[in-house]
Amino acid sequence: MLAAEWAHQACLKDTQVKINSEFTIIKKYLSGIGAAYLNSNGVELAGGDDCAVLATQAKLLISTDTSVAGIHFLKSMQPHAIAYRAVSTALSDIAAMGGVPTAFNLSLVIPTFDPSWMKDFRKGLIKISKEHKIPLIGGDLVKGPLQISVTVLGQPGRKILLRSGAKHGDILCLSGVLGQAYMGLKEFKASSLINAQTKPYLFPKAQVGYAQAIAPYATAAIDVSDGIFQDLSHLIDQSNIGCELDLVKVPVADSLYQKQCLEFGDDYQLLFTVPPNKLALLQSKIKSMGKKCHTIGVIKGTRLKILNNPFKTIKNWDHFR
């Protein structure tokens, strides 16, 4: 639904945008992205009809994520960063289950049409499409307050990582440092620059390769999007078990901002559990990739217990709190 169908739907739903201008926007800025990956990813039909068509007889991973201006990203961010970030955060859910992304849909709401903004937004879509070798296969375009909804599709690996698989005695692990997104946002607000410090926030990386590497050994996994305590709580709740988390062992981007690094989320690192007898094999695999595996706790008991906690309260992200 990238060209004629998008324009047709827009004509029905959004009378404020002329059909000719909307058709032109879609054709010029939102078509052909990742077209080279259609056949290899099993996409028989992308834009131009009521639905995309995927040739699959196997299980399919599907997830949707919505990014709203002023809540999930700053309006002052460059359009290519907004586009990249919106797709990458959605892809993180595919990564958390050990899957391989195959395609994505994009629903874009824009207040007005600005050709330079759209041109730069397209650059971000192309960048993430090339990184993960996935095509944009459909979506929607309407007029309204700026927001982006992304639906990602993926193929599961031999083993699907669920939140519900953690077992008593498993080691709790973390794929990387927390708080880089917080520090990046802090720096971007001060400088408006794209640099090494701001990139973790502007261009977060979905841990796709890392997740595929740990899948044969891990028992459960979740990505850290809303803060480590909230996401860990989801994992142990689904697994119906407790956990001891040692804050001393949790790596943070800046110890002076330890609390904010733990609370903020948006790092899209993986939080996962591994049986003790498989930990060495997993660590060896991760080391061979030039990555790290931080052991930060143990699955035990019936509730979440935080060790070495200097803070009275730690709040994580909740849209409705």
Nearest to 222 by CA among 68, 81, 63, 60: 63
- pLDDT confidence of residue 54: 74
Q: What is the mean pLDDT of residues 62-67?
A: 93
pLDDT digits over 128-160, tens only?
999 999 999 888 899 999 999 999 999 988 899
Q: What values do phi and psi take at 160, rounded to 5?
A: -90, 125
pLDDT digits over 202-213, tens only?
999 999 999 999
Task: State how far the Cα of 60 lies from the Cα of 297, in Å rounded to an integer.
Answer: 32
Q: What is the mean pLDDT of residues 203-226?
A: 96
Nearest to 228 by CA among 293, 162, 320, 316: 316
In sequence order, what are the residues at sequence separation of 6 or more whose Cβ sits closer than 8 angstroms to the Cβ of residue 67?
A: 73, 82, 85, 86, 89, 147, 148, 149, 150
128 or 320, greater pLDDT: 128
- pLDDT confidence of residue 10: 39
- What is the DSSP pairing of strand 53-54 with strand 61-68? unpaired
- pLDDT confidence of residue 8: 39
Q: What is the mean pLDDT of residues 240-257?
A: 97
Q: Which two tokens stand for residue 176?
A: 């990387």
12 or 321, greater pLDDT: 321
- pLDDT confidence of residue 316: 60
CB 30 within 8 A of CB 136: yes
- pLDDT confidence of residue 2: 43
Helices (H) and strands (E) in the chain, counts: 10, 12
Order of strands across the sheet that contains 147-155: 61-68, 147-155, 100-110, 136-143
Classify residue 93 by its DSSP letter: H
40 or 193, greater pLDDT: 193
Q: What is the mean pLDDT of residues 74-81?
A: 96
163-307 CATH pick, 3.30.70.980, 3.40.50.12500, 3.90.650.10, 3.40.47.10: 3.90.650.10
CB 261 within 8 A of CB 319: no
For the cut 60, the answer to whether the pLDDT of residue 317 exceeds it is no
Sequence spans of domains, the chain:
4-155, 163-307
- pLDDT confidence of residue 59: 84
Task: State how far the Cα of 83 lies from the Cα of 291, in Å rounded to an integer.
Answer: 26
Task: State how far the Cα of 87 lies from the Cα of 263, in Å rounded to an integer.
Answer: 23
Percent of the chain's residues with pLDDT above 90: 74
- pLDDT confidence of residue 274: 98
Classify residue 119 by its DSSP letter: H
Query: Which residue's structure tokens are 């834009």?
Result: 47
pLDDT digits over 13-52, tens only?
443 444 446 667 777 777 777 678 777 777 766 666 556 6
Query: Taking all residues of the chain, what is their mean pLDDT, rounded to a whole number?
Result: 88
Q: How far apart are the first and last CA of the chain?
A: 36
- pLDDT confidence of residue 313: 77
pLDDT digits over 286-313, tens only?
999 999 999 999 999 999 999 999 987 7
Task: State how far the Cα of 175 lies from the Cα of 166, in Å rounded to an integer.
Answer: 17
For the cut 70, the answer to whether the pLDDT of residue 219 exceeds it is yes
CATH class of 4-155: alpha beta
39 or 220, greater pLDDT: 220
For the cut 60, the answer to whether the pLDDT of residue 92 exceeds it is yes
Q: What is the mean pLDDT of residues 88-96?
A: 96
